[in-house]
Amino acid sequence: MAIRTIREIGDEVLTKTCKEVTKMTLRTKVLIEDMLETMYQANGVGLAAPQVGILKRIVVIDVGDGPIVMVNPEILETDGEQTGEEGCLSVPGKSGVVTRPNYVKARALDEEMEEFEIEGEELLARAICHELEHLDGHLYVEKVEGELHDVDDREEE
């Protein structure tokens, strides 16, 4: 396993649409392990493959309940609304207020390419929405209400 370099806002790779994963290879498994390690080392709660420069539809999330690996994820349902601070490892030192659904149901494949569904509320719902947008080349800064501001001691997502 290895820590990968996190790409930052302004890097073109963060604006691209990622490709579906068609089969699980050793290389992709290593990528997933590296993404988890990179996310934990950066104290993030989520990381998408384009953030480490790989244009594949893969995200990893851990909101404190253990790692979630989502390959080719899709949102099936959303409900409600939450408005709160959001940050991104690709936009270091900044955060901003974003409104997201308060509930999300999603479908994805795991590292074995087995399909699963996941439901999340609050931070998990926010993280799923945030990470999936990276796969289509979008950053949360496009959705910030008001101004981006400097993070004091707040946790980054």
Residue type, 155: E
Which region, judged by CB under 5 A, interacts with Zn ion, from 34-42, 68-76, 84-92, 142-150? Answer: 84-92
Least distance to Zn ion from the beta carbon of 81, Å?
A: 20
- By the 8 A CB rule, do 104 and 125 touch? yes
Question: What are phi and psi for residue 47, nearest 5 degrees?
Answer: -155, 135
Between CA 19 and CA 100, with CA 128 as vertex, the angle to 5 degrees is 120
* # chain residues binding Zn ion, by CB under 5 A: 1
Nearer to Zn ion, 71 or 88 (CB): 88
Q: Out of 86, 131, 156, 157, which one is annotated catalytic?
A: 131
CA distance readout (Å), 81 to 67, 73, 142, 152:
24, 21, 18, 25
Tell me if residue 94 falls in helix, strand or coil.
strand
- Tell which residue, 52, 67, 64, has the closest CA to residue 13: 52
Report, in Å, the least distance between residue 47 CB and Zn ion: 7
| One of 88, 123, 125, 135 touching Zn ion (CB under 5 A) | 88
Q: Which residue is nearest to Zn ion (CB)?
A: 88
In terms of CB distance, is 35 or 88 closer to Zn ion? 88
Instruction: Answer positive or negative: Cα dihedral of 13, 17, 18, 19.
Output: negative
In whole angstroms, how close is the CB of 134 to Zn ion at the nearest point? Answer: 6
Establish whether 20 is a catalytic residue: no
**Residue 104 engages Zn ion in binding (rule: CB under 5 A):** no
Which one, 13 or 24, has the nearer CB to Zn ion? 13
Catalytic (active-site) positions:
131
Q: Which residues here bind Zn ion, judged by CB under 5 A?
A: 88
